[in-house]
A and B are shown apart, each in its own frame.
Chain A
Amino acid sequence: MPVIVNLDLMLARRKVRSIELAKAIGITESNLSLLKSGKVKGMRFSTLAAICRYLECEPGDILGYESSDADLNTSDDHA
Chain B
Amino acid sequence: MSDSQRRACRWFSLLFCAAAIGIGAVAALALSTPGGLTNKVRCVDLHCQVVRETVDLLPQAVRAKVEATPGLRAGLETNLAQARTRAVLTAIELVRCLPLAALFALVAMAMRRLGASGADGYAKAMPWLRRAALAAVVAALAVPVADTLRATVLVDAIDRGRGVYVMFNASQFVGDLLLAAAAWASIWALAAGSRARRDIAEIV
- What is A's interface to B at a CB cutoff of 8 Å? 27, 31-32, 34-35, 40-44, 47, 78-79
Cα distance, A8 to B204, chains bound together (Å): 16
Q: Does B202 contact A (CB under 8 A)?
A: yes
Check B195 against A34 for contact (C-beta < 8 Å).
no
Question: What B residues does A31 contact at CB under 8 A?
Answer: 204
Question: What A residues does B204 contact at CB under 8 A?
Answer: 27, 31-32, 34-35, 40, 42-44, 47
Check B203 against A40 for contact (C-beta < 8 Å).
yes
A and B contact pairs by CB, cutoff 8 A, 22 listed: A27-B204, A31-B204, A32-B204, A34-B204, A35-B204, A40-B202, A40-B203, A40-B204, A41-B199, A41-B202, A41-B203, A42-B202, A42-B203, A42-B204, A43-B203, A43-B204, A44-B203, A44-B204, A47-B204, A78-B199, A79-B192, A79-B195
Cα distance, A26 to B51, chains bound together (Å): 74
Question: What A residues does B192 contact at CB under 8 A?
Answer: 79
List of 6 A-B pairs having minimum Cβ-Cβ separation, nearest first: A42-B203, A41-B202, A31-B204, A35-B204, A40-B204, A40-B202
Distance in Å: Cβ of A59 to nearest Cβ of chain B: 15
Question: What B residues does A79 contact at CB under 8 A?
Answer: 192, 195
Cα distance, A14 to B195, chains bound together (Å): 37
Cα distance, A27 to B201, chains bound together (Å): 12
Question: What B residues does A35 contact at CB under 8 A?
Answer: 204
Question: What A residues does B195 contact at CB under 8 A?
Answer: 79
Interface flags, B178-200, vs A, CB<8A=1, else 0: 00000000000000100100010
In the complex, the chain B residue whose C-beta lies closest to that of A42 is B203
Cα distance, A13 to B186, chains bound together (Å): 51
Q: Among residues 147 to 181 in chain B, which have CB atoms less than 8 Å away from a CB atom of chain A?
A: none
Cα distance, A43 to B202, chains bound together (Å): 9
Distance in Å: Cβ of A51 to nearest Cβ of chain B: 10
Distance in Å: Cβ of A28 to nearest Cβ of chain B: 9
Distance in Å: Cβ of A20 to nearest Cβ of chain B: 17
Cα distance, A40 to B203, chains bound together (Å): 6
In the complex, the chain B residue whose C-beta lies closest to that of A44 is B203
In the complex, the chain A residue whose C-beta lies closest to that of B202 is A41
Question: What B residues does A43 contact at CB under 8 A?
Answer: 203-204
Cα distance, A42 to B200, chains bound together (Å): 8
Which of B192, B199, B203, B204 has the most chain A CB atoms inside 10 A of its CB?
Answer: B204
Question: What B residues does A44 contact at CB under 8 A?
Answer: 203-204
Interface flags, B57-70, vs A, CB<8A=1, else 0: 00000000000000
Question: What B residues does A42 contact at CB under 8 A?
Answer: 202-204
In the complex, the chain A residue whose C-beta lies closest to that of B191 is A79
In the complex, the chain B residue whose C-beta lies closest to that of A78 is B199
